[in-house]
Amino acid sequence: MLKVYNTLTGQKEKFETVEAGKVKMYVCGLTVQNYSHIGHIRSAINYDVIRRFLEYLGYEVDYISNFTDINEKIVKRAEEEGITPAELADKYANAFLEDIREFNIKPADKYLRVSENIDQIIEMVKTLIEKGYAYEVNGNVYFSVESFEDYGKLSGRSLDEMQAGARIAVNEEKENPLDFGLWKKVEAGEGWDSPWGEGWPGWHIECSAMSMKRLGATFDIHGGGVDLIFPHHENEIAQSEAYSGKKFVNYWLHNGTVNLSGEKMSKSQGNFFTSREVLKEFPAQTVRYFLLSRHYRSPIDFSYEKLEEAETSLQRIENARRQLAKVLNLDIESAEDNKENENFFTKVVELKDSFAAALNDDFNTAEAIGVLHDLVGEINSFLNQKDFTLNEKNFAVLEETEEIFLELAEILGLKFELNKAPGADDKLVSPLISLLLELRDRARDNKNWEEADLIRDRLQEIGVEVTDTPRGTEWEIKGKEE
């Protein structure tokens, strides 16, 4: 049974959907004003795994995200780059889509853009004014936080507490300093026409308008970074529920931040790694694996040193996968059976269940990765038994294990494709290498180590890795080192 931690209640809750068998989820995307950084990628990977697991559980998932393509920052950045705001937004939205492909993140079913949903937003603002939740002053429209009884329920604050904090910029137009903008007046020619004059939507309103338009007044999951809880998501709840009179979202999920030396990575602080610069140093899968090695709600400290550790750890899993594939390629030697494979397979199935149980517990990917390593240990031990032979029963069991292994990895979005280097399947290359290795074997039989090593070393230089294993000499095209 799936349990998820809901920020709204501060507890893990049993997960039940509005509509049986279907999950409607909305994840706050980014303002497309620059290249994405690792913090954005963590968020995207996190919700990607959540989505994949929900699909694994059999749900039909409608996963929606957004691109904020209208605001001051975009205008400013566009001026800097000498292009129009729309071009800038397009450029970075496309860059983001390229980035997530690298990280094996499934794209959302739909990315909603503010610029394409202005009508919807205006309609919503209009209704909020009519219902008495919002007011217009000089072409600006504000939401009145005092008019919404439950204001503060997500972030666990009360209006009194927040006013005591008194770190809110003074704005004479607002009835209450905490009131937030729904519609913002801008210079002629820069915005959209509205009943209140030319302007832009406020930041928070877009997510409400677009998510409800696509997913309905009440939907299942709304996700984003913890730094969005207040004010962004708090405000979304206020305006959405004031508008529809219904509960907006059942489960609020928030992922932790990516930190650098303990400090939050963020654009405004200037302390961030873009995903692109990280990808120059490490494979995307390593980054993904690293980010999933910690529970999504906790902050994670980012460094290249940690990525190197993650790389080594990930290789252990990759090796097991490769060994498994190699063994499955061997000829079946005997029909004999031993009891070992039954014990082995029982454990494999148990681990499969443990893996699902880990993710069922608020998507605990760190624990799930631990289970994956346990599975690797079982596979290794089984394959490295002294008297291992590939009999029919072993083959069947290993084939099924491979399937389970790949299925679980797929939930985490990890791909373990076999190295299909160019030439590996070539009708000429393969026999040629086999021939060379035959010569090497003969040299070894004659204890002519010099010649044997020459063949191995020369093959290595060409990019063919030769490994002596208890099952005989194996080779693999690795390609040349760059």
Partner RNA sequence: GGCGGCAUAGCCAAGUGGUAAGGCAGAGGACUGCAAAUCCUUUAUUCGGCGGUUCAAAUCCGUCUGCCGCCUCCA
Binding site listing for Zn(2+) = 28, 207, 232, 236
Question: Which two structure tokens, joined as six digits, stand for 476?
Answer: 């693999």
Q: Are 215 and 24 in contact (CB under 8 A)?
A: yes
Taken in order 77, 64, 228, 152, the sign of the CA dihedral is positive
What residues are designated binding site? 28, 207, 232, 236, 267
Nearer to RNA, 181 or 413 (CB): 181
Q: 179 by DSSP, 3-state: which? A: coil
Q: What is the smallest separation between the CB atom of 257 and RNA, expressed in angstroms?
A: 4
Strands of 60-68's sheet in order across:
110-113, 60-68, 22-31, 219-225, 249-255
Q: 15 by DSSP, 3-state: which? A: coil
Q: List, in order, residues 6 or more apart from 458 with CB less than 8 Å away.
A: none
Nearer to RNA, 22 or 230 (CB): 230
Q: What is the smallest separation between the CB atom of 428 and RNA, expressed in angstroms?
A: 25
Q: What is the smallest separation between the CB atom of 130 and RNA, expressed in angstroms?
A: 25
Nearer to RNA, 168 or 396 (CB): 168
What residues are designated binding site for ATP? 267
Q: What is the smallest separation between the CB atom of 242 and RNA, expressed in angstroms?
A: 19
Nearer to RNA, 20 or 170 (CB): 170
Q: What is the smallest separation between the CB atom of 335 and RNA, expressed in angstroms?
A: 26
Q: At what angle do helices 429-445 and 449-462 cross, to 10 degrees?
A: 160
> Can you tell me the distance from the alpha carbon of 23 to that of 383, in angstroms, rounded to the nearest whole number?
41
Q: What is the smallest separation between the CB atom of 450 and RNA, expressed in angstroms?
A: 7
Nearer to RNA, 17 or 365 (CB): 365
Cα–Cα separations (whole angstroms), residue 115 to 111, 159, 206, 252: 12, 32, 10, 26
Q: List, in order, residues 6 or more apart from 80 with CB less than 8 Å away.
A: none
